[in-house]
Amino acid sequence: MLRSRTTEALALVLMALTWDNAPRRSICSQVACELAANATIHSRSGNGGHFTVRARLGEGCVRVEVHDQGGPWKQPAPAGDEHGRGLLIVASLARNWGITGDSHTGWTVWFEIDGQGLCETRAVPNGR
């Protein structure tokens, strides 16, 4: 189930990118798949739930949002742990990113990739 959901998220993001830029497309798809996997693994969106992926073009960047069905926020994994590095990947690849929402209404994790696909890292973890 996880693989098909992340594949769907990837397909939606790629369809939203209407111009031909392979580096940007690759970064967007990698980050979108990470966020879709997080929504499925770490929220109520897994186990028969759902999540929403939105992608839009604007002002020299692509913005992608993944909204899940909420659940408790988990702190990053301790050093040496095998899992828990996904948002570090997001921060290193995205021009900008953040988290809004709460455990009851759902979390929205978003990121922006600039028009060239080469970004400075400016993580905005919104206090998390």
- Of 117 and 64, the structure prediction assigns the larger pLDDT to 64
Instruction: Express each pLDDT in 68-88 by its tens digit.
Output: 999 887 766 666 777 777 888
- Say how far apart CA 15 and CA 10 lie, in whole Å: 9
For domain 2-114, is the CATH number 3.30.465.10? no
- Say how far apart CA 100 and CA 116 lie, in whole Å: 26
pLDDT averaged over every residue in the chain: 76
Instruction: Express each pLDDT in 17-47 by its tens digit.
Output: 545 566 666 777 788 888 988 888 888 988 7
Token pair of 5 as six digits: 């959901």
Which band of pLDDT confidence, cut at 50, 70 and 90, is reported for residue 10? low
This prediction's pTM:
0.73
3-state class (DSSP) for residue 64? strand
